Amino acid sequence: MRSHSLAVVVPLVVLACAPSVDVEPILHDYDNYAADLRAVATDSYSIKLLETADAKRAQAETLIQNGKKQDAVAPMERAMADVRVAFEVESMQTAADRAQKCLLEVEQARASWQEAVFVLEQTEDFTGAKAPIAKRAPALEEEVPETLPATTLLPETFPPATMEAVSAQWSSWYKVAGERHVAAGDIEGRYRRSYNQTHAEKVDAPTTEQHRYLAARAVQELECRIRSDMNEQVCVDATQQMTAFSDARAQALEATLNLERSLQDDLKRDLEHLRAEAKTRQDELYGALSQLQGKFASIRRDARGTIVSLADILFDFNKATLKRDVEFNLVKIATILNQFGEMKIVIEGHTDSIGTEEYNLQLSQRRAQAVHDFLVSQDVAPDRLTAEGFGESRPVADNDTDEGRQKNRRVDLVIQDAPQAQ
């Protein structure tokens, strides 16, 4: 019984009366971390964290110069915790930037596939034959939106007021790390040490406050690492999607060639003639629309036809009602479209990534429908028009910048003309 009691008491005494810590190794590690971070830091939050850590490092240096090395340990431990989080924030932002680029590459691959399918459909219309391939987008694994715990990275809520609150945050993010198989043993070790210190026997208030701070920083590290992992997975999935679109595009191109090979020479000439006529009409359309190029719209062409990309000035924020002061520009577009009555128009609504995917999809659909209804009111035949919403799924720019998000908030008019079967 006595030995059992001793076994319980001794560890608690050790925790409550921790031995002195040498500050020099912490200074050395910090200086190395900080130097490496300064070489790569671009994120404003990580830079701010580094500045905060540097201030603590300066405080510790003053204490050391005044012969108070042991007093310098606490600010240096905090500085080290700050700079570790700054590193994870920088890594998280780098991964997020890569994810945005990966998503743009998927969109480019999708557009190339769509163009190839459009050319195939033109050829099918002319020949009256159907290629034995699917023209739907490649079947991709359904992505299940992941619900994450509340972020711990808001400066105004750091650190939480109690260790219980920190512990609750840790439990939530630690569960996600386990589900995603994110390696975080180093972070867990730091968290557990600080947690144990706050629960030691006869622990004083300064020690509790110190280790609550360090534990809260460990939670932030874990959150950043999980978010980095999620963004890295975006690129893994994007690679698979790009491969699928590339394979589907190759099939569409091959099917087009096979249909063309089956044509007799005179029919091939007819097909080439019809394509030339369609190109001439597209050139005329492009020339007519070019007068609108500028703040209101941008004009471009691809294999599908002419694309008028209408800027986000059409609508107020989060609204789907056309602004009165921009309707006259749509009147100009409608007037031009009515001069090219043989052409079909697909109206595509797009948003940035602010808000939920479901909300953005609905908003993009409402905006596309609003443009559709206005064009109909200007005597554009309804059977020429199709309205679709794609939400945030087809970005043309980086959603991490204001400029990029503005480019992604758009309504595209895809104006296309396919040769008719003979």
Mind listing the pLDDT tens digit for each residue in 9-39? Answer: 333 333 344 456 788 999 999 999 899 988 9
For residues 114 and 252, state if they share a domain. yes
CB count within 10 Å of CB 145 equals: 8
Distance, in Å, from the CA atom of 297 to the CA atom of 330, rounded to the nearest integer, reads: 10
Beta strands across the sheet bearing 344-350: 297-302, 305-310, 410-416, 344-350, 385-389
Q: 201, 227, 262: which is the final residue of a domain?
A: 262
- DSSP reduced 3-state for 414: strand
Domain of 345: which CATH number? Answer: 3.30.1330.60
Same domain, 21 and 125: yes
Whether residues 301 and 245 fall in one domain = no
CA atoms within 13 A on the CB side of 39: 6
pLDDT at 5 over 50: no
Contact 80, 186 (CB under 8 A): no
Q: Are residues 157 and 279 in the same domain?
A: no
Mean pLDDT of the region 94-113:
90
The confidence score (pLDDT) of residue 149 equals 93
Point out the least confidently predicted range of 12-16, 21-25, 174-178, 292-296.
Answer: 12-16
Q: What is the average pLDDT across 167-185? A: 94
Among 262, 296, 323, which residue terminates a domain? 262
Percent of the chain surpassing pLDDT 90: 40
Q: Are residues 161 and 280 in the same domain?
A: no
Among residues 226, 245, 262, the one where a domain terminates is 262
Residue 223: inside a domain: yes
77 belongs to a structural domain? yes
How many domains does the chain divide into? 2
- So what's the pLDDT on residue 287? 80
- Lowest-confidence region among 12-21, 176-185, 278-287, 400-409: 12-21
**140 confidence band (pLDDT: 50, 70, 90):** low
Q: Same domain for 89 and 160?
A: yes
Question: Would you say residue 7 lies in a domain?
Answer: no
Q: Are residues 24 and 81 in the same domain?
A: yes
Query: How high is the pLDDT of residue 55?
Result: 94
On whether both 237 and 333 belong to a single domain, the answer is: no
Q: Is 1 domain-assigned?
A: no
What are the pLDDT digits (tens) for 352-409?
Answer: 888 888 888 898 899 989 899 989 998 999 999 999 998 888 888 888 787 888 888 8
Give a yes or no: residue 9 inside a domain: no
| pLDDT single digits (tens) 141-160 | 656 567 899 999 988 889 99
- CA distances (Å), origin 60, targets 82, 259, 387: 14, 77, 63
Residues 342 and 193 grouped into a single domain = no
382 found inside a domain: yes
C-alpha–C-alpha distance, residues 392 and 386, integer Å: 19
Beta bridge partners of 306: 301, 415
| Whole-number pLDDT of residue 62 | 94
The β-bridge partners of 415 are 306, 345
Q: What is the pLDDT of residues 53-71, one digit of tens each?
A: 999 999 999 999 999 999 9
Whole-number pLDDT of residue 246:
94
> Is residue 5 a part of any domain in this protein?
no
Query: CB-based contacts of 315: which residues, under 8 Å, 6+ apart?
Result: 321, 322, 323, 367, 370
Q: Please state, in angstroms and rounded to a whole number, the distance separating the CA atoms of residues 97 and 184.
A: 22
Quick one: pLDDT at residue 203? 82
The predicted model gives 328-342 an average pLDDT of: 86
The average pLDDT across 87-92 equals: 94
Residue-range definition of the domain harbouring residue 400: 265-422
pLDDT of 189 above 50:
yes
Mean pLDDT, range 35-52, rounded to an integer: 90
Average model confidence (pLDDT) across the chain: 84
- Rounded to an integer, what is the distance from CA 334 to the centroid of its chain? 35
- Asked if residue 348 belongs to a domain, the reply is yes
Same domain, 256 and 292: no
422 pLDDT more than 80: no
Question: Do 275 and 318 lie in a common domain?
Answer: yes
Same domain, 251 and 285: no
Report, as an integer, the average pLDDT of 262-267: 70
| Distance in angstroms (rounded) separating the CA atoms of residues 376 and 331 | 11
